[in-house]
Structure 1
Amino acid sequence: MLKFQEESLRQSVNGALALRHQINPFLDAIFEKGITNICFLGIGGTYASAMQTVSHMKEFTSMEVFAENAAEYITTGNRRIMDGTLLIYSSVTGSTPEIVKAVEKAHAAHATILAFLDNPNPHLRELCELCISYPQNEQLKLFMAADRILFLRHEFDCYDDCYENFDCYLADALISVEQSSDSFAQEFAKKHCNDTLHYFVGAGNQWGSTYSYGMCYWEEMHWMATKTVSSGEFFHGTLEIISRDTPVTLFISEDASRPLSLRVAAFLPKICANYTIIDAADYPLIGIKPQYRGFISHLVTHAVTNRIDVHLEAINCHPMEIRRYYRCLEY
């Protein structure tokens, strides 16, 4: 398989799961002191991860949980971020200007900060109560923090069993998804490598990853134009622009939002002959208990899009690392 390193992927996922030994003691202590609300902060792809984490949490908790866009926060502020706020964010480089300024502002507002930094920026380290440096698996890291808080609030009583299950089977399940979806991904990439505009649709814990896949992968990395729309909003505008030949990809999760996307799936054949459905339920995920599948739908479809990306990159002879403007120009 093209650019596929099975053992590296296994170690990456299992290493991320092991971070609970750092995450849990910190959150347990913070919870004892009292938390007023929780803010997941991000920009671009990290904001997308924040949105899907909030989507996951709101199914379970009555606590105030929200996603904050870093650029908007440094411009307009948010008075809900204050003493008593637990602010959680992730950053790959640790140098994104909006993130740095937003974290400085949240620190000045006396928020308690948990940071996942792939690159342990010394300045950002100084501004947080706990900094965990581990590459990749951003969505998994945020969900682990979210689930621990839900557990502490007695709103996620399956926590221990769920993560014991993930420890045993998640890495191999995601490896299996990449392996079994590779031929599909290659055909998808061949079919859509010259699209002038592609629509991506998703909901629930899939919405953040759908938004990110269109903007951060196809637009930023492949330089291909997209529009992303949530399944719930699809019928309020976007459906009128879809025709027989419009490229549409619908991601379907197994969380509570599934009916929203199934409604889109039932409608698309009536108006479109160029749609694709990527449904997390189509993958066996050997060992993962049925009741926990919905919690990882976004990881399942991400495993599929990983394979699409490597084939799209090869077909278009366009390395995904190249940028024209991002961090190349002043803006």
Structure 2
Amino acid sequence: MKKEHVEQIQNVIEAAKGKDIKNIFFVACGGSMAALSLGEYFVTKDTSMASFVYTSNEFIHRAPKALGENSLVILRSHSGTTPETVDAATYAREQGALTVAISMDVESALCKESEYTVHYNYKDGSDAIDGEIGVYYTLLFKLLNLLTGEEKFLRGVDQLSKIDQLIESNQAKYKDVADAFGKKYKRDKVIYTMASGAYIHHAYSFTSCLLMEMLWIHSNAIHSGEYFHGPFEVTDYDVPFLMVVGEGPSTPLDQRALDFVTKYSEKVEVVNVKEFDYTGVDEDLKEYFGPALAGPVLRLYADGLAEHTGHPLSVRRYMWKMEY
């Protein structure tokens, strides 16, 4: 990892050490919020620290009472220009919180509005370790180490050096499967996604940002644990589901949903995170690396749909084109 990224992350950790942090807020919109949600999952799973995820505009309007000088607020915007997230940074600072911006542009409004910046490289030929996955995971592992004192998170930082090879090997493993998915479902107007635990944010992101935003395909992200509390009534032989079976404590929820949906639908596709290549990753860290690898793998499924529908992922009807 580049020295500048290491220093930025360490500055955040030192700042957190210097404050009596009582809670952590993860604040962003869309895909950025989905990416940050992973932090809330592991903070609440592995520590006694209170943690929350907010979409930026609601963060401001709800004005959570827990927000204050003992809060750490981590915000993310890819461009650093998302107005709601910039405003959220302003609001958090006004409440005395420690604010950290994650963005590809250190000169962006979000970075200027926040006390600390964690920058990642994007499409400049850099390795993934200096991209959004490597940088965010390094920050998260170091934060978890600070909160728990567990050395496994420092091993996690070291093993992130393998993230490029792991992404490459897993994408190679799923490339043909994802292309076949695109060919098979190119005429379907509705595709549901299902996951739980650390992977529900992937289902949300795939649904909202890839299927709905980029491909204009109707969808809904269903939590595996909630599938039997209403959503399973839409299941039929010709209804497509993309199921993420995770690596971690909530895997039984996914398996239960998978066992049912495959009985009644002939259109179930599965991404089994347990089958990923984890070469060089310790057994007790697989559940942390799984989500880092699932995103790049799921992206291939969207690429497959784009290829076979002839609908480029870059096409928009409204976004960036009009007032909203």
TM-score with structure 1 setting the length: 0.89
Distance 1:209 1:259 in 2: 18
Distance 1:46 1:280 in 2: 22
Q: Can you list the C-alpha shifts for 1:63-92, whole angstroms capped at 9, x where unaligned?
A: 111111112122222222211211101111
CA-CA distance at 1:215 after TM superposition: 0.3
Q: What's the counterpart of residue 130 of structure 1? A: 116
Kindly tell me: are residues 272 and 157 of structure 1, through their superposed partners in 2, closer, same or farther at Cα, counting changes over 3 Å? Answer: same
The gaps in structure 2 that reach 5 residues or longer are: 123-130
Whether the 8 Å contact between 2:79 and 2:108 is mirrored in structure 1 is no
User: Which residue, 229, 238, 249 being the options, matches 1:245?
Assistant: 238
User: Which residue, 37, 40, 45 being the options, matches 1:51?
Assistant: 37
User: Which residue, 155, 160, 164 being the options, matches 2:154?
Assistant: 160
Letter in 2 for 1:71: N
Map residues 1-331 of structure 1 onto 2, 5 A cutoff: 19-136=5-122, 137-167=131-161, 169-331=162-324
Mean alpha-carbon deviation: is it higher for 239-248 or for 66-75? Answer: 66-75
The gaps in structure 1 that reach 5 residues or longer are: 1-13
> RMSD in angstroms over aligned alpha carbons?
1.9
Kindly tell me: are residues 204 and 18 of structure 1, through their superposed partners in 2, closer, same or farther at Cα, counting changes over 3 Å? Answer: farther
Whether the 8 Å contact between 1:52 and 1:204 is mirrored in structure 2 is no
Letter in 2 for 1:275: V
Whether the 8 Å contact between 1:52 and 1:209 is mirrored in structure 2 is no
Distance 1:315 1:156 in 2: 47
Letter in 1 for 2:28: G
Whether the 8 Å contact between 1:74 and 1:102 is mirrored in structure 2 is yes
Q: Secondary structure at the match of 1:226?
A: coil
TM-score with structure 2 setting the length: 0.91
CA-CA distance at 1:160 after TM superposition: 1.9
CA-CA distance at 1:100 after TM superposition: 1.6
Q: What's the counterpart of residue 4 of structure 1? A: none
Letter in 2 for 1:276: E
Distance 2:275 2:81 in 1: 39
Distance 2:5 2:54 in 1: 24
Distance 1:245 1:18 in 2: 51
Letter in 2 for 1:131: T
Distance 1:158 1:18 in 2: 24
Q: Secondary structure at the match of 2:60?
A: helix
Q: Secondary structure at the match of 2:46?
A: coil
Kindly tell me: are residues 108 and 25 of structure 1, through their superposed partners in 2, closer, same or farther at Cα, counting changes over 3 Å? Answer: closer
Whether the 8 Å contact between 1:178 and 1:306 is mirrored in structure 2 is no
CA-CA distance at 1:121 after TM superposition: 4.0
CA-CA distance at 1:25 after TM superposition: 3.6
Distance 2:274 2:46 in 1: 22
Letter in 1 for 2:318: Y
Kindly tell me: are residues 215 and 191 of structure 1, through their superposed partners in 2, closer, same or farther at Cα, counting changes over 3 Å? Answer: same
Whether the 8 Å contact between 1:42 and 1:89 is mirrored in structure 2 is yes
Q: Percent identity?
A: 24
Q: How many residues align?
A: 316
Distance 2:149 2:265 in 1: 41
Distance 1:205 1:128 in 2: 27
Distance 1:266 1:24 in 2: 45
Structure with higher RCO (Cα < 8 A, 6+ apart): 1
